[in-house]
Structure 1
Amino acid sequence: MSTSTNLQETAPPPDGAPKSQGTVIHAGRAISVVFYVTVAARLLSIVSQVLTASAFGAGPTMDAYTVALIVPTTISAILAAAVGAALIPVFVDYRENKGEAEAIRLLSVAITLGTLIALVVTVALLAGAPLVVTVFARQMDAPTQTLAVILLRFLMPVLLLQVLVTLVGSVLNAYGRFALPALAPVTITLSTIAFLLFARSWGIYALGWATIVGYSLNFLLLVVAYLRMGLRFHFDFSWRHPGIQRIAALSAPMLIGALMVNGNNLVDQFMASLLPPGSIASLSYAIKLVDTPSGIFYTALSTALLPIFALQVARREFTLLTTTFRQVVIFSAIILLPAGALLSSLSRPVVEIFYHHGNFSAQATDVVASAVMFLAPNIFFVTYGFINGRMFNALQDNRTLRNVAVLSLVLNAVLDYLLMQIWGVAGIAFATTLTYLIGAVTLLLILNKRLQGLRLPQLGLSLGKTAVAAAFLWLTCALPAMLPQVAALPLLVQIVLLSAAGLVIYAALLLALRVPEVSLLWAILCSRLSWGRAQAKPA
């Protein structure tokens, strides 16, 4: 049975039915559904990260695999962000104002053209694999570069699969199916765990096969859900369709913006390739560790908020729009700023627990821990970037995202080069965090000019107070961790004791500083828990 969470309509009406009026979106319920399934998926991903680190460490072989995987995944993310973010607002607008039949026809054309674009890019990269590896693997020796080329060509189907997953998943989201699109990527994690446990003798190729199988299963699950909803697809090459022209107009600036945003990952990896062998893999391990908690939130928020924002814009409910945006941003800060502070201050014991096993050396542990310390604030900054991006997507103002992204890419490259001279991989991590911070502030100022009722002074005051409380949490954990008595304790005991002390200080400061949204967030969480218990009771 497919899961319908926050849309009153549970299946698309037949062709010729009246327009989809009266659809109600409950933001909290939609976000909660995606959040819970994403938590389960991300927790499971920790197991695959531990197994990968133990099996392959942070040496040249892992460098080759990281370079090979980041190319198709980054390019697919660029295409998916551009087309997916443009598709939902136009699709929702068509469904609301022109009827179901027109919306479904638009969908068929969009999927057809999206598939063709992905195929063209895939073929081009298969042919140009040696050149791509040369650019991103400058310090690798010849055998490692050869391995990277082989792996890159082997992993290129990931690009096509991810684009298709995004297109189909976006449609499911538009119809209120949030759980399965959020949970389906767990197939990649399960596949990785299975191959590392039962096919480890295949070496690095076990990871390659795990990735291909996982993405394929992800796509098949979404296709089954798509068909069970009663939706159908047929190839339609009507590229002159008015809706496609609207999507193209929105996608063009968004494509450049997505290129710039995701391009930061490529810039970081390129800079890491100029450092000693193992630096690419070390940076990748640090990013994955930070992305595990942050991905729980930005996946849930960005998945649920785009159709919500798009529907509010389509109905011109701008007061509700600004209220939703402001509350989501502040609530995210209250939860994620302390999470980033904890991970930053406790990066060393956390990295030792997760990664320092098997072939993962002490030197690699030091490098990854220092990078995690500087990357940890991105738990909030990246999440905020997704929230703000979804707002501009819904407003169909992707040009602003493009312009800010271009500036961010240039800034990130400059800061990467300067700071890596001082701190190596940690310098690249610090440059990334500074870039996200500056980009977040810039987008917020622009959005404040675009929308009335955002109440920026109040928003800034609440965010500032929360940041101050999080800074004291960091000090509460970081300073005692330097004491020999604390360092002698078992790693897990250190993390638990220091985290508990830091969270007590954080909560006390939030209350003392009188952040008004704290009580509101607490009330919402309590109501959600009460709703969950009520649903669990038998009738």
Structure 2
Amino acid sequence: MPAIRIALPSPLRALLAKGAGSAMVSGFLLVAMLTVVGKIVSFAKDAVVAAKLGTADDLDAFMLVFGFFSFAATVLAGGLPESFVPAYAEWRERRGQRRADRLGVQAAVWHFAALLACGIGLTLVASSLIAWATPGFSPAKQALALRLQTGLLPFLLCFGMAHHLSAWLRAGKSFLLAASAPLLVPLGIVIALLVAGDSVNAWTLVAGTVWGSVAHLLVLIIAHARRLPRSLVWWRCCLRHWEPGLSRVLRNAAPFLLGGVAFGSAAVVDQTMAAWLSAGSVAVLGYSDKLCAVVLAVTAGPAADVLFPHFSELVARRDWTGLRRRLFTSAGLIVGAALPMTLFLCLFAPWIVAIMFERGAFGPQDTQRVAEVLRFAAFQIPFYILGTVAARVAVSLQAARLMLTIAFSALVLNATLNWLLMGPLGIAGIALSTVIVHLISAFATCGVCLAVIRRKEALG
């Protein structure tokens, strides 16, 4: 059965094909446009949250706990899904679509088991984790964070599985649903905020997040269910006869998982160290990150989603010259497009923050704090993009061990620079630390990719 494709209206499809000139660029433009729509919905949500809660304790506690669960889900998404996509591309090339789909089902089962184990582990250590991470929180605020961690557990399972199913769709070069379904999470939060009216609190955010992530996962499950065979014989075969490629996926998942721990820990380390500073610091850092994420969402995100399967195919065909050319070309174009937006964020930071967030409980003083951090944080954007594109090439090349070294070095450097810079600069020092770490990591990752490509070319 052919891979599911959601058809675009004919005029839009023709416009994309004419303007892009290639399926890869068309896919990038499509994902970028959908991401912009998602960010509009997300900013509508953020604006309402800022008006209702400002930088209050409820939002501080929610953002810290949400960061823990996002980190856990993202780390696990950097394990099996990352190792699955190159294996899926190779298995489809060698064994056919049905065998590749069977590999996808079996990898999804293992990923769910890993998410469930992670959720149980987080629940068992919740009390100690919150106490360790929030020495600057009051006892009441720590107790609220502990309760929120229990409430957000379903989000971990749904968000993590959605990562895997989206990666599976992108591996088949079906980008539309993978890019549009995440809209349901901020949309769920917006609906919860509207229903709550003037009674918005941290639990309103929990309810919207959980139900939005459930809807996100259900849409992806339905998409895959429509594409896969409905024969009971095929499904029994999936569960009884393991694909040989699965052992490779599981074996390669461990280095990517450890690398995900190191790379993903940066946000958790930043939030945890921000909690040591004055009240509201976690929320201030979060608002700054959201504004940077707008640029990253329409550059690094679509680039990673669209380029990853193309990189994997080039590796499977051993087209090293094409791989190197595509790395340089795509990174150069995307970084060039991001630089004007980076400078705009830096120069007009107070005005941007005021327009986006200054209303209700979010006052001029909050605007000044967020703008100060944003002026530093914006400079991470070009280096983050370069690192993201290069990391996709490294994953396609299965250069997990070298990436692991870079990841843990970056984690240590991030914590060290935070400690050195947050004293004189406060929250802005944490943002500056992030910029330096992304700069060093991006160039190190590019160096690894080029070295691995040269070695494979020498081996023939």
State the TM-score, normalized to the length of structure 1: 0.77
Specify the code of the residue in structure 2 equivalent to 1:210: G
Counterpart pick for 2:418 among 416, 419, 426: 416
Unpaired runs of 5+ residues, structure 2, are 9-21, 456-460
Give the match for residue 178 of structure 1: 175
Give the equivalent residue in structure 2 for 1:192.
Answer: 189
Q: How many Å apart are 1:193 and its aligned residue?
A: 1.4
Cross-structure match for 1:3? 6
Q: Which residue of the partner structure matches residue 30 of structure 1?
A: 27
Match status 1:128 vs 2:125? yes
User: In the TM superposition, what is the alpha-carbon distance from 1:54 to its structure 2 partner?
Assistant: 0.9
Q: Which residue of 1 aligns with 2:342?
A: 340
Distance 1:436 1:239, change over 3 A: farther
1:512-523 alignment to 2 at 5 Å?
Answer: none
Could you tell me whether the CA contact under 8 Å between 2:263 and 2:407 is conserved in 1? Answer: yes
AA aligned to 2:66 is L
Match of 1:92 among 89, 93, 116: 89
Paired AA for residue 88 in structure 1: V
Q: Is the 8 A contact 1:42 1:293 kept in 2?
A: no
In structure 1, the partner of 2:427 is: 425
Q: Contact between 2:101 and 2:228, CA under 8 Å: does it hold in 1?
A: no
Cα distance in 1, alignment partners of residues 59 and 261 from structure 2: 25
1:289 to 288, 291, 305: 291
Residues 197-249 of structure 1: per-residue CA shift (max 9 Å, x gap) = 22131422111100001101111111121122235684856797531221122
| Residue in structure 1 matched with residue 206 of structure 2 by the alignment | 208
Q: What secondary structure sits across from 1:376 in the alignment?
A: helix
Cα displacement string for residues 347-369 of structure 1 (whole angstroms, at most 9, x for unaligned residues): 11111111111111333222211
* Larger RCO, structures 1/2 (Cα 8 Å, 6+ apart): 2
Q: Answer whether contact 1:46 1:292 (CA < 8 A) is retained.
A: no
Q: Distance in 2 between matches of 1:234 and 1:69?
A: 35
* Correspondence list, 1:330-409, <5 A: 330-409=332-411
Residue 260 (structure 2) pairs with residue 262 (structure 1): no
The SS at the match of 1:176 is coil
Give the corresponding residue for 1:273: 275
Q: Give the whole-Å Cα distance in 2 for the aligned partners of 1:365 and 1:237.
A: 54
Equivalent residues, number: 434
Question: How far, CA to CA, are the matches of 1:221 and 1:83 in structure 2?
Answer: 21
Choose 42-51 or 144-153, whichever is displaced more.
42-51
Q: 1:229 to 1:105 in 2, by over 3 A?
A: closer
Paired residue secondary structure (2:359): coil
Deviations 1:426-480 (A, max 9, x none): 1000101111011111112222322249xxxxxxxxxxxxxxxxxxxxxxxxxxx
Counterpart of 1:169, as a letter, is S
1:247 partner amino acid: V
Bigger proportion of residues as helix: 2
Q: Which range moves more in the overlay, 73-82 or 189-198?
A: 189-198
Q: Which amino acid aligns with 2:278?
A: P
1:104 corresponds in structure 2 to 101
Q: Is the 8 A contact 1:293 1:379 kept in 2?
A: yes
Cross-structure match for 2:222:
224
Letter in 2 for 1:183: S
User: What's the % identity of the aligned pairs?
Assistant: 27
Question: What is the one-letter code of the residue matched to 2:280?
Answer: G
Tell me whether 1:435 sits opposite 2:437 in the alignment.
yes
1:65-84 correspondence runs (5 A): 65-84=62-81
Off by >4 Å, runs of 4+ in structure 1: 231-241
Distance verdict in 2 for CA 1:356–1:202, change over 3 Å? closer
**Structure 2 CA distance for aligned equivalents of residues 30 and 434 of structure 1:** 31
The structure number with the bigger radius of gyration is: 1
Q: Secondary structure of 2:55's match?
A: coil
Indicate yes or no: 2:447 matched with 1:445.
yes
Task: Identify which range, 363-372 or 84-93, moves more after superposition.
Answer: 363-372
C-alpha distance in 2, partners of 1:427/1:234?
A: 53
Q: 1:138: which partner in 2?
A: 135
Name the aligned partner's letter for residue 151 of structure 2: F
Give per-residue Cα distances to partners, 1:483-505, cap 9 Å, x unaligned: xxxxxxxxxxxxxxxxxxxxxxx
Shift of 1:44: 2.0
SS at match of 2:102: helix
5 Å matches for 1:9-48? 26-48=23-45
The one-letter amino acid paired with 1:410 is V
User: Do 2:106 and 2:242's aligned partners in 1 also have CA atoms closer than 8 Å?
Assistant: no
Query: Partner of 1:177: helix, strand, or coil?
Result: coil
2:328 corresponds in structure 1 to: 326
How many Å separate the matches in 2 of 1:219 and 1:294? 23
Separation in 1, partners of 2:167, 2:202: 33
Give me the whole-angstrom Cα distance separating, in 2, the residues matched to 1:105 and 1:142.
Answer: 50
TM-score (structure 2 length as normaliser): 0.90
Aligned residue for 2:298, secondary structure, equals helix
Q: 1:340 to 1:231 in 2, by over 3 A?
A: farther
Specify the code of the residue in structure 2 equivalent to 1:76. Answer: A
State the AA in 2 paired with 1:72: F
Match for 1:222: what amino acid?
L
Q: Distance in 1 between matches of 2:240 and 2:306?
A: 29
RMSD of aligned C-alpha atoms?
1.9
Give the whole-Å Cα distance in 2 for the aligned partners of 1:249 and 1:389: 19
Question: Displacement of 1:77 after TM fit?
Answer: 0.3
Shift of 1:4: 6.4
Shift of 1:392: 0.6
1:80 positional shift = 0.5
Tell whether the 8 Å contact from 2:79 to 2:256 is kept in structure 1 after alignment: yes
